Amino acid sequence: MPVHDRTSFESLYTGQPRWEIGRPQKALLAVADRITGSILDAGCGTGENALFFAGRGQTVTGFDFLTEPVNLAKQNACERRCGAFGNMVIDRDGKAAVARSAERYQRAIKSR
C-alpha cells in the first residue's frame, strides 16, 4: 500500500476519494454500540463518522491535515443542524483541536 503525503491526498480530494461514501463506514456502524465515551477521530475527512457519533450525543473531536475535507465536514455539520453537534470540534490542526477540546478520550477511531 502506498504511503500518501499531503500532495497526494490533495490530489485525491479534487475528485471523490473512495473512502468518502457520504455516510459512516460500515465497519464502524457494525461496532457502534461498543464505542462509548468521548471520541477522537484522526483523519476525519468530511466528518461522516464524527457526525454519526456526535449525533448519538457523544463528544467528538475530528481532525484532518487538509483544509478542503475539514471545510466539508463543517459544512456537513451545519447542514445537519449545527446545534445538534455542539459537542463536536473539527479542525485542520489536530493539536489545536485536541487542546481546545479539553477531553480525555475514551476511544480513538481512524477514518478511512
Residue 46 domain-assigned?
yes
Rounded to an integer, what distance in angstroms lies between the CA atom of residue 51 and that of residue 40? 12
At residue 87, does pLDDT exceed 60?
A: no
Tell me, what CATH number does 74's domain have? 3.40.50.150
Q: Report which of residues 10 and 1 the model is more confident about.
A: 10
Kind plus residue range of the DSSP H or E element containing 96: helix 94-101
Distance CA 34, CA 42 (A): 18
pLDDT digits (tens, 9 = 90+) for 70-83: 888 888 888 876 54
Residue 25: inside a domain: no
pTM for the full model? 0.73
What residues are paired with 63 via a beta bridge? 42, 91
Q: Is residue 76 part of a domain?
A: yes
| Chain segment 17-57, per-residue pLDDT in tens | 777 788 898 999 999 999 988 888 888 888 899 889 988 88
Instruction: Give the CA dihedral 16, 108, 58, 47, nearest 10 degrees.
Output: -10
Residue 92 lies in a domain: yes
Q: How many domains does the chain have?
A: 1
The chain-wide mean pLDDT, for the chain, equals 76
Q: Which domain holds residue 48?
A: 37-112
Q: Hunting for cell 468518502 — which residue is that?
A: 20
> How confident is the model at residue 80, as a pLDDT?
75
70 within some domain: yes
In this structure, is residue 29 part of a structural domain? Answer: no
Please report whether residue 27 resides in a domain.
Answer: no
Flag whether 28 is in a domain.
Answer: no
